[in-house]
Structure 1
C-alpha cells in the first residue's frame, strides 16, 4: 500500500482501518512519512498537497543529478500524481527520463513533468502576457506550472508598450480571463498598461531582460511595485513559478 498523498487516499486508509482491511501497525507505517521523508540531503514534503493543494515542486538549480534522481524516485514511490521539476536543464531531464518514460521536457520553460495522470483543467482561464519575445522563457515557466496545477492557460506574447497597438488589438482575450499574468523586463510598464485596461486581477512578473540601467530586473520590479494601476500583485524577478501559484489560487476561488 502506498503512502498517502491526498485527502481521498487518507480517507480510504481510515476506512480500511475501521473495517479492519488494514491493521493499525501498517497504517502507522504509512502515515509516519506523510509529513516528510528525510533523505539526509532533502526532506521531501509529502504532506504539502494536503496543506496547500499542490504537491512539492523540485527546484533544480543547486542540486546534484543524484539528489534530483533520489527525490524523484522517492516522490514516485509515495504518490501516483504528476511531479514537476522547475529550472531544469537538459541533463536534469535526461536523468529523470532514465527513471521513468513518463518524463516530458518543456524546454522553453525549463520544466520537467513526470506526467502520470492527465492534467485537470478549469473552465476559467489564466492569461499569460509578455512584453517581448525575450520574456517568453519566464512566461512559459508560468504557463506550464499553471497547466500542471490544473488550469486552462492561454497566451498573448510580444505585445509590449513599444508597439501598444498590438496590445489594444487583444483587449477582449484579456477581459475574458479570470486572472492575468503579465511578464515584462526593461521598465516593466506593461503591467501598468494592462492594469488600466481590465478589472481582472494581475500578477506582475519583472524579468531580468534589458540594458544596463534595468539592473537585471530591478527597474522593472520597482516600476511594477510603484504602478498607479490598481489590483496588481508583484512577484520576484523572473519568478514565473511563483506567479503561476498565485494565479492558480485566484483562478480556483
Structure 2
C-alpha cells in the first residue's frame, strides 16, 4: 500500500463508501506481514516513497514465490526483484505472467502500473563495457523507480577523448552515476568536470591486484575531487536508489505532489 492508495481508502471512509471495519481489515497488516521466513514491509512506500525490493541471492525459489504472492495480494503496484537469475524469473512467472526480465541487470520487474518518468533524470556512465552489468542494474532500478535514464558506456580514462565527446550530454543530468573497475579513476575525473551530485560505483572488474574491486573502491573513497558519494562494490542498485532520492527533490519543480 502506498501513500496514494492509503489516502484513497481514507477518503472512501470519509464519504461513507467504505466502513471503518472494512478499512481496518484492509489496513490490519500494516506495517508488516510475518510470513515466518520473511517479514514483508508493507508500509515502506508510505515512509520512504518506494516499495520494498526483493533481494533474491540466497533466497530459495519457494520463498521468493511466497513473497511475490503476498506483495501481489497486498496490491503492490510495480514489484522489483534484484540479483535474480533466470531460474528466479521463471519462478516468479509461476506466480504472475506480468513479470519482465532484464538479463544484463539480473532484475525481474512485475509491471502493474505505467511508470511515469520526469525529465532531466540520471546519467549512468561506465569506464568500460565490462562494467555494463553493474551499470544496467543501476539504470533499470532507476527507471523502475520513475527516473529518466541516459546510458553513456565505455568512456573510461584510457581513452579520455571518448568522455569529453559525451560531456555535454552528461552535464544535462540531475544526478550522475559513475561505474568503474580497474583503478576506478572515472569518478575522480568526472568529479572535476561536473557540478551535479556524483555517485561512484566501484566494480569487481580488473586483474589480480584490483582485489575484486577493492582498488577501485579505495580510489573513489580517496578522490581529490570533492562531493563524490561512494557505494559498495558492484552495488548498482544502491547507487540508483540514492540517485532516485536525490532526483525526487527536483520533482516538486515539475508539479509532482510529495
Taking structure 2 as the reference length, what is the TM-score of the superposition? 0.94
Q: Deviations over 1:203-235 (max 9, x none)?
A: 000001111111111111110000011121000
Residue by residue over 1:11-67, the C-alpha shift from the partner in whole angstroms, topping out at 9 and shown as x without a partner, is 222222233322222222211212111100000111000001000000000100000
Is 1:50 matched up with 2:71? no
Task: Give the secondary structure class of the aligned counterpart of 1:124.
Answer: strand
- Deviation of 1:202 after TM superposition, in Å, equals 0.4
Cα distance in 1 between the residues matched to 2:17 and 2:164: 62
In structure 1, the residue matched to 2:92 is: 96
- Which of 40, 47, 52 does residue 36 from structure 2 map onto? 40
- Give matches, 1:58-97, under 5 Å: 58-97=54-93
**Aligned residue pair count:** 249
State the partner residue of 2:126: 130
**Which of 180, 184, 191 lines up with 1:188 in the alignment?**
184
1:249 aligns with 2:245: yes
- In structure 1, the gaps of 5 or more residues are none
Cα distance, 1:80 vs. partner?
4.5
The aligned runs of 1:64-213 (5 Å cut-off) are: 64-213=60-209
1:148-205 deviations in whole A, cap 9, x for unaligned? 0000001000111111111111110111111100000111100000111111110000
SS in 1 for 2:189: helix
TM-score scaled to structure 1, two decimals?
A: 0.96
Counterparts of 1:197 and 1:15 in 2: how far apart (Å)?
Answer: 49
Confirm or deny: 8 A CA contact 2:202 2:231 kept in the other structure: yes
Unpaired runs of 5+ in structure 2? 250-258
RMSD, aligned CA: 1.0
Measure, in 2, the Cα distance between the counterparts of 1:73 and 1:67: 10
